[in-house]
């Protein structure tokens, strides 16, 4: 067989296959009823609110938080420890940080974490923590983990843990009664799931993890339990202590 035929034959076969494929696609487009397409869900004001992300990749990025304020996004999940003398005292766990708590970051540090300490984040060879003060006490410093370094691998969770802007300036469309409930950590009927999480935290159990807005969720707000039933992303029933 001549060399040009060796090239031409497989090329022709490929062109025929491509033509059949294009005919098939064209036919599908002419008959859109063949393919079921889900209804598009309209975006809410919460969906389009701008929540800033920093995408930290290295410890130097975490250190950039020094001198800034952040607000806890992942409420009632992250422990914090006493920090004094330039060291994290892992034996002195103070508690877990409430949602939307404002943290004034002083610096970021790396530390070796004792094996018996479970603070929710991988220890790695060195764990990264932010050192901060809280409202009403500018002198007492604390530390909470945000990531870890293990050899050449670094992973930091600042974007999942913190708002970098005051949430009041992000969700300006929320009415005052909702903000009052969020700030007092008291969920109430009519609140959506986002508002409820920012009131009573991210430590949850649910009967259906895939249908946010239409399910029953139990929240553990640092030992205080709330069970909230949502329908069409509105709380229809709120129970405490269940």
Express each pLDDT in 81-112 by its tens digit: 999 999 999 999 999 999 999 999 999 999 99
Residues 144 and 90 in one domain: yes
Closest CA to 55 of 142, 131, 126, 154: 154
Asked whether 125 and 94 are in contact (CB, 8 A), the reply is no
Residues 65 and 113 in one domain: yes
HSE toward the beta carbon, residue 32, CA cutoff 13 A = 2
> What's the pTM value of the predicted model, to 2 decimals?
0.82
Q: Per this entry, what is the length of the chain?
A: 242
Measure the CA–CA gap between 207 and 225, rounded to whole angstroms.
15
Domain boundary among 167, 202, 219: 167
Handedness of CA 30, 31, 35, 40 (dihedral sign): positive
Residue 11 in any domain: the answer is: no
Residue 191 in any domain: the answer is: yes
Residues 135 and 200 in one domain: no
Residues 205 and 159 in one domain: no
Q: By mean pLDDT, which of 115-124, 132-141, 195-204 is the weakest? A: 132-141
Residues 108 and 188 in one domain: no
Q: Is the pLDDT of residue 166 over 60?
A: yes
> Quick one: pLDDT at residue 39?
56
How far from chain centre, in Å, is Cα 125?
24
Q: Is the pLDDT of residue 40 over 80?
A: no
Residues 67 and 161 in one domain: yes
Asked whether 111 and 127 are in contact (CB, 8 A), the reply is yes
The token pair at 107 is 């610096």
Backbone dihedral angles phi then psi of residue 156, each to the nearest 5 degrees? -130, 145
Asked whether 201 and 76 are in contact (CB, 8 A), the reply is yes
> Domain span at residue 76?
59-167
Q: By mean pLDDT, which of 9-23, 65-79, 151-165, 226-240 is the weakest? A: 9-23
**What would you measure as the largest C-alpha separation in the chain, in angstroms?**
88
Number of domains in the chain: 2
Residues 82 and 144 in one domain: yes
Q: Is the pLDDT of residue 17 over 80?
A: no
CB neighbours of 37 closer than 8 A, spacing ≥ 6? none
Residues 119 and 162 in one domain: yes
Residues 103 and 144 in one domain: yes
Residues 74 and 161 in one domain: yes
Domain boundary among 115, 142, 167: 167
CB neighbours of 157 closer than 8 A, spacing ≥ 6? 121, 146, 147
């Amino acid at each position: 067989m001549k060399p040009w035929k060796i090239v031409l034959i497989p090329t022709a076969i490929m062109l025929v296959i491509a033509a059949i494929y294009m005919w098939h696609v064209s036919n599908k487009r002419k008959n859109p009823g063949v393919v079921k397409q889900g209804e598009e869900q309209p975006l809410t004001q919460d969906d389009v609110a701008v929540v800033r992300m920093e995408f930290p990749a290295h410890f130097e990025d975490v250190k950039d938080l020094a001198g800034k304020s952040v607000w806890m996004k992942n409420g009632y999940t992250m422990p914090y420890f006493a920090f004094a003398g330039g060291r994290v005292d892992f034996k002195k766990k103070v508690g877990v940080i409430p949602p939307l708590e404002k943290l004034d970051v002083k610096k970021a540090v790396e530390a070796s974490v004792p094996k018996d300490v479970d603070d929710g984040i991988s220890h790695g060879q060195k764990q990264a923590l932010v050192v901060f003060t809280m409202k009403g006490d500018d002198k007492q410093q604390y530390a909470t983990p945000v990531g870890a370094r293990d050899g050449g691998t670094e992973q930091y969770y600042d974007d999942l843990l913190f708002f970098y802007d005051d949430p009041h300036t992000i969700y300006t469309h929320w009415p005052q009664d909702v903000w009052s409930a969020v700030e007092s950590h008291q969920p109430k009927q009519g609140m959506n799931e986002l508002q409820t999480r920012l009131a009573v935290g991210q430590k949850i159990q649910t009967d259906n993890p895939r249908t946010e807005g239409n399910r029953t969720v139990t929240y553990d707000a640092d030992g205080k339990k709330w069970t909230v039933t949502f329908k069409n992303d509105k709380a229809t029933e709120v129970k405490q202590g269940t």
